[in-house]
């Protein structure tokens, strides 16, 4: 073990936990990943990664000498830093559920040792959770010391599908807590901050990248930064979708409009893509979490609520476009291409496709769904939905009356529609991700723009 190497425990082996463990192991630290799910731990010990994230399996394999996996919290006793990377799902009123954070804190506390240890909230948590975790450590750690056992907020800003690049070459590292604890975190992240590590083959360092900014702040500000960042990105997407609706009515093109306003450096082009709306585990949950925090303090947040309302409406916009072409969906075969909330992941949380499939079935359609990666996960997580799983795009489109493109997978961007359309019974395509760029012999509807001028449909 090198002089700069530290012992780290990572509690939780989901998207954030696995990414954190892989990153820290690659930086040269000795890492133990902890999860109460025996099956998941056995998978990881056998080299099987339970989630789909490009490059993660190769990175975990390359650093396996620095990694251990366990269902026990024993490694916490020798850890210099303990990361809490567990889920904080929203309750019915949008308030984040902290039961998994509390459970992790209570279980790690008895293992805290006599040396200086930092407990890091990596999970997205409500403002004030750092203080809450500190109190839990006081109550459950027999040898608790306020000077030795500090809580830090270190939110993640990873995008699923590009998590390795985001982890290794971040825009910024946000650290909130006591200065003594932040010094330990600076040592832990030194190879990342100084960019002295060797880039993995699966995630080369961008040519123009130098080093991340480091934001040292309070617990509360660090927690707020994470929520506010995600809420602002959700606002941008909902804003683009709201403008797209008006573009359709006045004859403007949302992509040209987004490009034009995005050239303003105060705005930027990213996250101005109109489509089916945002999904995933962060934007909806974190926006609702901020609204919930405002409600606790008798503070109304109408802009954030509007962002959620527009995003919910966007699902119905897609259904409405389909109904305008087909009148009734009873007895019709409708194919949904894409189930994951975005490409290059198998994450189904808050995916637009879920709501589309549910609504199509409710309206009497027979639904077929396809996704290059997410179908196995959907069998487990979407068992409550009624749809037929297609083995291929060709199978999905066979005898379909209509198609909805719900996820912008590269495979769907590259489709040869001239070869696929003859197998369909109908010729309606609702391109909810605006990925069809050349004219095809079908009725194509896009979001906020006219589809490429097509050859007149003769079928």
212 and 233 in a single domain? The answer is no
Q: Which residues contact 128 (CB under 8 A, 6 or more apart)?
A: 220, 223
pLDDT score of 102 more than 70: yes
CATH number of the domain bearing residue 275? 3.40.50.720
181 and 240 in a single domain? The answer is no
166 and 108 in a single domain? The answer is yes
127 and 274 in a single domain? The answer is no
- 210: which 2 tokens? 């130098």
Range of the domain at 129: 7-217
267 and 323 in a single domain? The answer is yes
In a domain? residue 1: no
45 and 77 in a single domain? The answer is yes
What number is the average pLDDT over the span 344-370? 96
- How many Å apart are CA 134 and CA 181, to the nearest integer? 13
In a domain? residue 2: no
In a domain? residue 452: yes
In a domain? residue 167: yes
Return the pLDDT at 112.
Answer: 93
- How many Å apart are CA 152 and CA 142, to the nearest integer? 20
In a domain? residue 395: yes
In a domain? residue 375: yes
Which 3-state string (H, E, C) describes the chain?
Answer: CCCCCCEEEEECCCHHHHHHHHHHHHCCCEEEEECCCHHHHHHHHCCCCCCCCCCHHHHHHHCHHHEEEECCCHHHHHCCEEEECCCCCECCCCCECCHHHHHHHHHHHHHCCCCCEEEEECCCCCCCHHHHHHHHHHHHCCCCCCCCEEEEECCCCCCCCCHHHHHHCCCEEEEECCHHHHHHHHHHCHHHHHCCCCCCCCCCCCCCCCCCEEEEECHHHHHHHHHHHHHHHHHHHHHHHHHHHHHHHHCCCHHHHHHHHHCCCCCCCCCCCCCCCCCCCCHHHHHHHHHHHHHHCCCCCHHHHHHHHHHHHHHHHHHHHHHHHHCCCCCCEEEEECCCCCCCCCCCCCCHHHHHHHHHHHCCCEEEEECCCCHHHHHHHCCCCCCEECCCHHHHHCCCCEEEECCCCHHHHCCCHHHHHHHCCCCEEEECCCCCCCCCCCEEEECCCCCCCCCCCCC
125 and 236 in a single domain? The answer is no
Domain endpoint, select from 154, 184, 217: 217
For the entire predicted model, the pTM comes to 0.89
- How many Å apart are CA 291 and CA 294, to the nearest integer? 5
What number is the average pLDDT over the span 13-30? 95
209 and 238 in a single domain? The answer is no
Residue 246 CA from chain centroid, whole number: 28
Domain endpoint, select from 217, 246, 268: 217
- Total of domains in the chain: 2
In a domain? residue 421: yes
Domain endpoint, select from 202, 217, 232: 217
235 and 358 in a single domain? The answer is yes
235 and 117 in a single domain? The answer is no
Residue 271 vs residues 56, 224, 239, 277, 383: alpha-carbon distances, Å: 25, 20, 10, 11, 31
Return the pLDDT at 174.
Answer: 97
pLDDT in tens, 414-453: 999 999 999 999 999 999 999 999 999 999 999 999 988 7
pLDDT score of 251 more than 50: yes
Tell me what percent of the residues of the chain surpass a pLDDT of 70.
98
- How many Å apart are CA 103 and CA 36, to the nearest integer? 11
What number is the average pLDDT over the span 180-206? 95
What number is the average pLDDT over the span 383-395? 97
Return the pLDDT at 456.
Answer: 56
Active centre residues (catalytic): 282
Give the model's confidence band at 161: pLDDT under 50 very low, under 70 low, under 90 confident, else very high. Answer: confident
196 and 244 in a single domain? The answer is no
In a domain? residue 203: yes
Return the pLDDT at 1.
Answer: 40
337 and 208 in a single domain? The answer is no
- How many Å apart are CA 16 and CA 124, to the nearest integer? 10
């Amino acid at each position: 073990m090198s002089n700069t190497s530290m012992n780290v425990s990572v509690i939780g082996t989901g998207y954030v936990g696995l990414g954190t463990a892989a990153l820290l192991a690659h930086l040269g630290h000795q890492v133990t990943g902890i999860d109460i799910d025996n099956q998941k731990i056995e998978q990881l010990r056998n080299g099987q990664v339970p989630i789909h994230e490009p490059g993660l399996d190769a990175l975990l394999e390359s650093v396996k000498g620095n990694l251990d996996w366990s269902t026990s919290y024993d490694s916490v006793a020798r850890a210099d830093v303990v990361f809490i990377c567990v889920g904080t799902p929203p309750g019915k009123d949008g308030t984040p559920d902290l039961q998994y954070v509390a459970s992790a804190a209570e279980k790690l506390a008895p293992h805290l040792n006599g040396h200086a240890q930092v407990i890091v909230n990596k999970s997205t948590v409500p403002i004030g959770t750092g203080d809450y975790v500190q109190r839990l450590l006081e109550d459950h750690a027999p040898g608790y010391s306020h000077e030795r056992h500090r809580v830090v907020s270190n939110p993640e800003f990873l995008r699923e599908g590009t998590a390795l690049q985001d982890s290794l070459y971040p825009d910024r590292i946000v650290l909130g807590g006591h200065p003594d604890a932040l010094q330990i975190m600076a040592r832990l992240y030194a190879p990342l901050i100084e960019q002295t590590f060797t880039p993995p083959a699966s995630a080369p360092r961008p040519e123009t990248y130098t080093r991340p900014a480091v934001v040292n702040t309070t617990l509360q500000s660090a927690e707020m930064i994470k929520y506010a960042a995600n809420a602002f990105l959700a606002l941008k997407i909902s804003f683009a979708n709201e403008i797209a609706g008006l573009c359709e009515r006045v004859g403007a093109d949302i992509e040209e409009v987004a490009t034009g306003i995005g050239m303003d450096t105060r705005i930027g082009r990213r996250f101005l893509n109109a489509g089916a709306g945002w999904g995933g585990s962060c934007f909806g949950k974190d926006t609702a979490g901020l609204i919930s925090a405002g409600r606790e303090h008798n503070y109304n947040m109408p802009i954030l609520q509007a962002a959620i309302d527009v995003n919910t409406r966007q699902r119905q916009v897609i259904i409405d476009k389909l109904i305008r072409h087909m009148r009734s969906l009873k007895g019709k075969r409708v194919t949904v291409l894409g189930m994951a909330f975005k490409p290059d992941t198998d994450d189904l949380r808050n995916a637009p496709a879920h709501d589309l499939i549910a609504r199509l079935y409710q309206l009497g359609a027979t639904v077929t769904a396809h996704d290059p990666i997410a179908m196995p996960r959907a069998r487990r997580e979407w068992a409550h939905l009624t749809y037929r799983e297609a083995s291929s795009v060709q199978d999905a489109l066979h005898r379909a009356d209509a198609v909805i493109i719900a996820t912008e997978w590269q495979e769907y961007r590259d489709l040869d529609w001239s070869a696929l359309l003859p197998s369909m019974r109908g010729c309606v395509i609702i391109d909810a991700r605006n990925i069809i760029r050349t004219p095809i012999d079908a009725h194509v509807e896009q979001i906020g723009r006219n589809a490429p001028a097509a050859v007149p449909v003769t079928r």
